[in-house]
Amino acid sequence: MEYGPCGGVEFDGRCEVGAFRCVFLGDGIRTWTGIDRSESRPAPAPPTQGAVAMTALLARRQVVVADFPARALDAGSVVRCARILSGAVDATLAGDAGSARVQYSPSLRASLIRREGLAVWSGVNCRDRNRVALEGELAGLAEVGVAGVHCVTGDHTRTGHRPDAAPVFDLDSTELASLARAAGHLVSVAESPAAPPVADRAARLLEKEHAGAQVCFVNHCGGDESVATFIREARALGSALRFIPCVPVVVDRGSAELLESFTTLRLPDGFLAGIRSAADPRRAGIEAAVDSGERMLRLDGVAGVDLSGGPGVGGEEAFAVALAEISERLGLVD
């Protein structure tokens, strides 16, 4: 990693990988200087059709994006969840499942989803791929016609179920954002306002913007007031990014446990306790997500929301149904 720190810094400054302090803390923010390593630099590609369509939609109204809940390496699950969400949300954020390390490639996963008429905001991580593989995926995603590419560094392999796999990390999310933008994609990145160094998170995001990012997905940082503060900090530094904050979705025990596995998760006070203690946790979770989404959508600078979270094992389609209902209640999708 060149442009750290990532979002995997624990609240006490430790790296998520082991019992040592994040090496990027205390050194300030590295200024974007580019990643070109070749003698010849290809000309930037024009915006893809998917990027043009999503950019036009974002210019017209706020959007609803939903995390994709399908099981990894299960084409049937991918198809069924895509059919449930098609027409219910503006796009699905389809990245690598946090509960599994072996995945379909981003371009194959996006292709399966697109066949069902659902727009894909495709997540791509640097953990498992070198620059050549990443460039190939970006080309494939352009051919598939994805709405956007979400660039993440990726969780270390030590934190997953395949610690035997060697991590790659040839590039990081900031560098990948530059490649994705040059490939013609609408480019998004994530930022974690609640993770150390809190005071430098907006400045770090600005360097991602300089690299090519156009949209920021704001990770769970405590609710709408925290998101509003972060957007103001970014704007004060000159950021022109569109912001899509994450809205936590919990409808049962499995989805609560998955959300709690997120690094530096910070939810509104009493959020999980209120759902867990409810007579009907599923209904309570949907109501809480709708309320949170409406609060986020009222904030200046918010271009939409991401219904964020995932199901326990076996609850994929039921979770997709809940996502579709939440989106319908928000009333944005045409």
> In whole angstroms, what is the distance from residue 218 CA to residue 107 CA?
24
Q: At residue 122, what are phi and psi to the nearest 5 degrees?
A: -90, 125
Strands (E), 38-186: 63-67, 91-94, 120-125, 148-152
25 closest CA partner among 2, 37, 9: 9
- Going from the C-alpha of 114 to that of each of 138, 162, 289, the distances in angstroms are 16, 29, 26
- Going from the C-alpha of 303 to that of each of 59, 178, 227, the distances in angstroms are 9, 22, 13
CATH topology of domain 49-330: TIM Barrel (3.20.20)
How crowded is residue 140: how many other Cβ atoms within 10 Å of its Cβ?
Answer: 17
- The mean per-residue pLDDT over the stretch 40-52 comes to 88
Q: Which of the two residues, 27 and 140, has the higher pLDDT score?
A: 140
| pLDDT of amino acid 38 | 66
Share of the chain above pLDDT 70, in %: 97
pLDDT bucket at 41, cuts 50 / 70 / 90: low
For the stretch 140-171, pLDDT in tens is: 999 999 999 999 998 777 777 778 888 888 99
pLDDT bucket at 43, cuts 50 / 70 / 90: confident
| Residue 297 near residue 64 (C-beta atoms within 8 A) | no
| pLDDT of amino acid 115 | 98
For the stretch 183-230, pLDDT in tens is: 999 999 999 999 999 999 999 999 999 999 999 999 999 999 999 999
Rounded to two decimals, the pTM is: 0.95
For the stretch 247-286, pLDDT in tens is: 999 999 999 998 888 877 899 999 999 999 999 999 999 9
| Residue 100 near residue 44 (C-beta atoms within 8 A) | no
> In whole angstroms, what is the distance from residue 318 CA to residue 47 CA?
35
The structure tokens listed for 84 are 């449930």
Beta strand 148-152 pairing with 242-248 = unpaired
| pLDDT of amino acid 100 | 67
- The mean per-residue pLDDT over the stretch 135-144 comes to 97
Q: At residue 54, what are phi and psi to the nearest 5 degrees?
A: -70, -35
